[in-house]
Copies of this chain bind each other. A is one copy, B any other.
Amino acid sequence: METTTPNWLKKRADLSPERTALIFNNQSWTFSELFREAIKVAEKIVNVVPRDCRRAAILMNNTPETVWVIHGLQQLGLETVFLNCRLTANELLFQIKDSETELIIHDGSLMDTVGELKNTLNIPIISFKNLVGGHSSHTSLKKEFTLNDVCSIMYTSGTTGKPKGVLQTYGNHWWSATGSVLNMGLQENDSWLCTVPIFHISGLSILLRSVIYGIPVILMEKFNEKTVNRLLSSGQVTIMSAVTAMISRMLSEQGNKPYHPAFRCLLAGGGPIPKPLLLLCKERKIPVFQTYGMTETSSQIVTLSPEDSLRKIGSAGKPLFPSQLKIMVGEKEAKPLEEGDIYVKGPNVTPGYLNRDDANHASFKDGWFSTGDLGFKDEEGFVYILDRRSDLIISGGENIYPAEIEEVLLGHEDVAEAGVTGIPDEKWGHVPYGFIVSAKKLSEEEILAFCRERLASYKVPKKIIQVEQLPRNGANKLLRRLLSELTADED
């Protein structure tokens, strides 16, 4: 039998109507008010949604309206495609078509991009403020959520360069939320600061946990170290999710002043934290929980608790209670300290990619998901991540896939070969550099302009370096990790 739960927001509004659900700038909403807003939005969406529509997309930044729309779509049982607001129209078009999205709701902040989408697409594309109420008596709202149903779809790239839609079911989010609560506990005064984008799993998971746990989200439109530090010093925040770049900026702005003792958990994801930063956190008594996770695991799946954080420096910790992680060397499970491929399993792991039989076939084996990342476990079972999959570049918390940029570079008529790799950067962790081979001397500026038209700005290479040839192995496969050596001549 299918496992069902009550509709989450409805249930939470019933159980704790007067608790605070959402805080944004100087405004706040209780769960009962949030539920009312979600219903209002749902009734408006009904007026514009095509008949038998299954999937809607949102192109929205971190605002209360976005929260309402997400919950509004859930009230109607629509699957939601989370579009990254930083992408170009071309990148978005691929995801919208690939996901067979039939309705787009945006927040009015990206009018140029939306204009381009409207020129190409023949589906309703509506801004939040143009949603209007109407005859809503027939709106049928979900009483229950079936855990196997798809809740959200988020795109991620990989070795092929073609982004894939990761299916996240209600069950995936539920198990991620309960796995996390069993790890870090749940207190009456808990509240979660969300400065990461809601269109990423790091942000969405906070919104859903808020409803499941019955705790407030303090939402920020954009990360700002000054505001964050003020909040963490006030006692209003007990939990925060952050990436390395944010933590650096926070610490440098805050100096030696301590945070409020109520602040009990800084979940640090998006790549390992450098050791000096960890030591600084320890010195300042900041409770860092290092984590490892990805869109496919519906947020963190491995977490290191503060008591182990220096003893096991560099480790992401152990898999959360409902989840498993194994290291494989070929067909055999690796011995302690032996490096290998990271596989994960658990009810928080995606059932697969949307309409990608090939990728699903390649990524799943006996219920285990192949992350493509490399790592090892130590004798006590602590997990260490060595290399993110497919030479993934993590830049300020955003994932950048070299293959995607290489595909764009190769699209230029004069580029014969292209390779992209991440180069360490003080502010962003890493930034992408592009290496090209061409018969004639090309202008860096021209290539960059070509990229800017086709790629989100954070993906555009910081530098284009023209070289004689790219490092390849015997099978002529590009060796991206050797690319960085080619920068030597440049510096």
Contacts and interface: CB of A to CB of B under 8 A. Distances in A.
Interface of A: 1, 3-6, 11-12, 14-15, 144, 171, 178, 181-182, 185-188, 212-214, 318, 321-324, 345-347, 351, 367, 381
Contact of A346 (B5, B318, B322): B5
Contacts of A1: 351, 367
B186 A182 contact: yes
Nearest to A2: B367
B15 A321 contact: yes
Contact of A178 (B15, B178, B185): B178
Contacts of A6: 321-324
Number of this chain's copies in the complex: 2
Contacts of A12: 321
Given A11-B321, A187-B187, A182 B212 contact: yes
Contact of A15 (B3, B144, B318): B318
A301 to B, nearest CB: 12
B14 A381 contact: yes
Contacts of A15: 318, 321
B321 A171 contact: no
A214 B367 contact: no
B3 A171 contact: yes
Contacts of A187: 185, 187
Contacts of A214: 182
Given A14-B381, A187-B187, A381-B14, A321 B182 contact: no
Contacts of A324: 6, 144
Q: 7 shortest A-B CB distances, which residue pairs?
A: A185-B186, A5-B322, A178-B178, A3-B347, A186-B186, A6-B324, A185-B187
B181 A182 contact: yes
A212 B15 CA distance: 24
Nearest to A12: B321
A456 to B, nearest CB: 35
A318 B178 CA distance: 20
28 contacts: A1-B351, A1-B367, A3-B171, A3-B347, A4-B347, A4-B367, A5-B322, A5-B346, A11-B321, A14-B381, A15-B318, A15-B321, A144-B324, A178-B178, A178-B181, A181-B181, A181-B182, A181-B186, A182-B186, A182-B212, A182-B213, A185-B185, A185-B186, A185-B187, A185-B188, A186-B186, A187-B187, A212-B321
A298 to B, nearest CB: 14
Contacts of A345: 4
Contacts of A323: 6
Contacts of A381: 14
A6 B319 CA distance: 10
Contacts of A351: 1
A3 B351 CA distance: 11
Given A1-B367, A181-B182, A346-B5, A318 B14 contact: yes
Nearest to A171: B3
Contacts of A3: 3, 171, 347
A115 B84 CA distance: 71
Given A14-B381, A178-B178, A381-B14, A321 B5 contact: yes
A131 B284 CA distance: 54
Contact of A5 (B188, B212, B213, B347): B347
Contacts of A213: 182
Contacts of A346: 5
A46 B203 CA distance: 49
A352 to B, nearest CB: 11
Contacts of A318: 14-15
A4 B345 CA distance: 9
Contacts of A5: 321-322, 346-347
Query: Among the interface residues A3, A323, A345, which one has the most CB atoms of the partner chain B within 10 A?
Result: A3
Contacts of A212: 182, 321
A81 to B, nearest CB: 23
A77 B358 CA distance: 36
A359 to B, nearest CB: 18
A348 B324 CA distance: 23
Contacts of A367: 1, 4
Contacts of A144: 324
